[in-house]
Structure 1
Amino acid sequence: MLEKALLHLGRIARQLWFRVVLISLFSLLLLLLAPLAKPLLPNGLSEDFGREAVLPVLTILASGMLAVTTFSLNVMVSAYRTAASMATPRVYRLLLEDTITHRVLATFVGGFIYSLSAVILFRARYYSPEGALVVFGLTIIVVILIVGAIVRWIDHLSSLGSMDHTLRLIEDRTRASLRARIKKPCLGGVCALEDSKPEDAVDIPAAKSGFVRFAGLAQLDELAAEAGTQITLALAPGEYILRGQPVAWATAGDNKFCKAASAAIDIGDVRSFDQDPSFGLSLLAETAQKALSPGVNDPGTAVEVMGRLERLLWENTPADKVSDAREATYPNVNVPPVTAPQLLACAFPPIARCGSDAPSVMRWMEKSLVALGEHPNPEMAEAAKGLRQELQDGRWD
């Protein structure tokens, strides 16, 4: 349960509202605790830098930050919609996790909450002259943070919503997911090199229909150890399943055990990067397909996408074949590995089907497959050579 709770906490932390609420609560806490700093202040300053000095600044901040925040939100939504229309609609969820945008907007909203709350507290006579001096110092710090955020926002707006920024986000997130799979090819479980149902196994049905997004191997391993059984995942994260279909199998187990095991596997309406490295490759391929559509007709973007795909597959594919010889962190759970041919199949075939009429695209694809045919991983090299042969034979048309 801890593993799944941490997963949901991580997803919440990547949402915009989380940082906004966090910094707003922090600013309110500072304002409420400001009077406690009275013993640390030098004498005589409260007359020059007190209530009358800080209130006009706070009023300007309260009105200005509201306008800046509203404008920035409109710009953000517009840029994200533009990026989703140029690339693929599924990239919108990734753009919403942009940490730079989160920090900037959280600073703006936090500055608004801080200034408005400070004005209210001043009108309520909450602060003594010494407390007003502390608020003056805090306000200077807030102004510096806001100016820095504005400069950072201006720089970020130069690329926000552009194709380059969108592709870079997808590539970075995909690289992180691929590298996580290099460290744990089977998520820490035993590699299930055969995808067939074990003999005399008990079905663990899916609780609902959707994409397998996360398998809590720690919880599954604990359940299997207590029941003296072995669990095998029927589907890897990223695959689609219908309610009632087997999402996993167990060598033994009653109905209660099957329900607990099924609850440890997260199924949702949309795919996730958490344990699915092929998702990012699919997003890049979809972007290239969109660029090759008759309405867009941008083969240059498709070529750039293939360059990124080639780089990702070359640098982030294990040099050796996946085997079951590696020591498993969760020995009671068998997990189907993500193989090099599976990754390659998510990348180039979709582009080839849409780019057969673009000579520059097909030439670059052949070059990429020739390069990947020299990959140290024999599975990747063999799959690249096979796809290149299919391309030459015209079997992707």
Structure 2
Amino acid sequence: MRSLRLWQVLRLSRRLWVRTSLIAVLGIVAAGAAALLGPVIPQELADRLGKDAVMPVLDVLASSMLAVTTFSLSIMVTTHHQASSQVTPRSHRLLLEDTTTQTVLATFIGAFIFALVSIILFRAGAYTGASAFVLFAFTVLVVVLVVVAILRWIDHLSRLGSMDETIAQAATRARETLAVARAAPSLLATPLPDGAPPPDGAEPVPAPQGGYVQLVDMAALSEQAEKAGAQIWITAVPGCFLVAGRALAHIHPPGALDTARVSAAFEIKPIRSFEQDVRFALIVLSEIASRALSPGLNDPGTAIDVLGRLERLLAECPPPGDEIRYPKLHAPALRDEDLVEDAFAAIARDGAPMREVARRLIHALNTLRQGDDPGLARAAEAMTRRALAHAEAALVIEEDKAALRRLAEI
């Protein structure tokens, strides 16, 4: 499990401005290093390639890269809005973390800043002797990076914001989150039975603000509990929504820990995230299918595609782990019923009037019913009955209803 500090650093690294700033700084460093490395270059090389060889290239980079960056940003914004309106508004969060887009835009801006700083230093007389040769070598490298970035950008633009690419990104994030959640269904704490309350007299830890729990730093909580000889009952796991003042956890014995330090181990934000919240990852995929089934789009093919991806995600996920790394902590375990509910309930409701969607849904649930995981099998059995009830109420032709009943074997 990642610590809260590491998770915040990783989340920061996925921001567009961070990667852009880093490459921009590299451009400034390269432009400044050219002036320092000049004395180590042989004079005969400096005589061949001087200011007249490098200045035209720098002028082209400085004049073109800003326009290319502005144009690329407008494309990115347009595709993000298109994906939000056609796929699901939650897809915008995935596209913002697209590393290819970030690297390409950062390369363009870095090249612009490198060229601009180099021209300024040239005009200021900072490049003397063989410094122009060093700058020429750096400029050639920047040109190569820009060409590679443009080629990657052309290839990426053919998929950016498309339905297939967005669904694939959502499925990939869901698979990663599901693997982590199945390996630690109770966040590596002692699992709590469903509905088990904290012990009598336990001290509640109030939430400092309202919102969704995005991450719980289990290692930090365990360290506090071990030092104080206390135990912590976690009631707000990732994905839980709560208002300020509601209990995040309970401490026993009361007064053994500072509640402010305990609450600091919970990351609470206005929106949900994919890091530890596997239910949210499944809901995003389910939303894509439900939106495709809306009268405005009427695209059952996309819903069928999402059903196939959800089927593979749950059927191929690893068995739940039983490691207890933090015995002083107690947390509710991830329920198989919640996974199946979040993945298929909305599609069962919205796809009930469409025979082809209902059949594909029953097929996916049959796969889980026949799988090796007894928990998922029981949850799929209950969801099959629910899907049949929706279909019975929505379908008109009796033959279609009978075909679904035969397929479900219920």
Q: TM-score, normalised by structure 2?
A: 0.92
Shift of 1:356: 1.3
Q: Which residue of 2 aligns with 1:313?
A: 314
Q: Is the 8 A contact 2:213 2:238 kept in 1?
A: yes
Shift of 1:40: 4.0
Q: Which residue of 1 aligns with 2:404?
A: none
Shift of 1:339: 2.4
Q: Which residue of 2 aligns with 1:203?
A: 204
Shift of 1:10: 0.9
Shift of 1:22: 0.3
Once the two structures are overlaid, the 10-residue window that deviates more, 234-243 or 67-76, is: 234-243
For residues 167 and 346 of structure 2, what CA distance do their matches in structure 1 show? 17
What is the CA RMSD across the aligned residues, in angstroms?
A: 1.7
Shift of 1:17: 0.5
Shift of 1:235: 2.3
What SS does the aligned partner of 2:3 have? helix
Letter in 1 for 2:111: G
Matched, 1:118 2:114: no
For residues 172 and 327 of structure 1, what CA distance do their matches in structure 2 show? 25
Letter in 2 for 1:361: V
Shift of 1:190: 2.0
For residues 195 and 127 of structure 2, what CA distance do their matches in structure 1 show? 69
For residues 29 and 21 of structure 2, what CA distance do their matches in structure 1 show? 12
Q: Is the 8 A contact 2:282 2:343 kept in 1?
A: yes
For residues 334 and 204 of structure 1, what CA distance do their matches in structure 2 show? 14
Change (3 A) 1:187 1:40: farther
Counterparts of 1:211-360 in structure 2 under 5 Å? 211-254=212-255, 257-318=258-319, 326-360=322-356
Counterparts of 1:1-397 in structure 2 under 5 Å? 3-200=3-200, 201-254=202-255, 257-318=258-319, 326-394=322-390
Q: Is the 8 A contact 1:390 1:396 kept in 2?
A: no
Shift of 1:256: 6.3
Change (3 A) 1:49 1:224: same
For residues 160 and 396 of structure 1, what CA distance do their matches in structure 2 show? 39
Once the two structures are overlaid, the 10-residue window that deviates more, 170-179 or 197-206, is: 197-206
Once the two structures are overlaid, the 10-residue window that deviates more, 139-148 or 233-242, is: 233-242
Where structure 2 has 5 or more consecutive residues not aligned to the other structure, the ranges are 394-410
Q: Is the 8 A contact 1:213 1:274 kept in 2?
A: yes
Alignment: residue pair count:
391
Once the two structures are overlaid, the 10-residue window that deviates more, 200-209 or 292-301, is: 200-209
Letter in 2 for 1:164: D
For residues 117 and 159 of structure 1, what CA distance do their matches in structure 2 show? 34
What SS does the aligned partner of 1:294 have? coil
Q: Is the 8 A contact 1:202 1:249 kept in 2?
A: yes
Shift of 1:311: 0.7
Shift of 1:181: 1.9
What SS does the aligned partner of 1:187 have? coil
Identity %: 41
Letter in 1 for 2:233: T
For residues 68 and 218 of structure 1, what CA distance do their matches in structure 2 show? 45
Q: Is the 8 A contact 2:290 2:347 kept in 1?
A: yes
Shift of 1:328: 2.1
For residues 259 and 282 of structure 1, what CA distance do their matches in structure 2 show? 32
Q: Is the 8 A contact 1:206 1:242 kept in 2?
A: yes
What SS does the aligned partner of 1:61 have? helix
Q: Is the 8 A contact 2:205 2:263 kept in 1?
A: yes
Letter in 1 for 2:307: M
Q: TM-score, normalised by structure 1?
A: 0.95
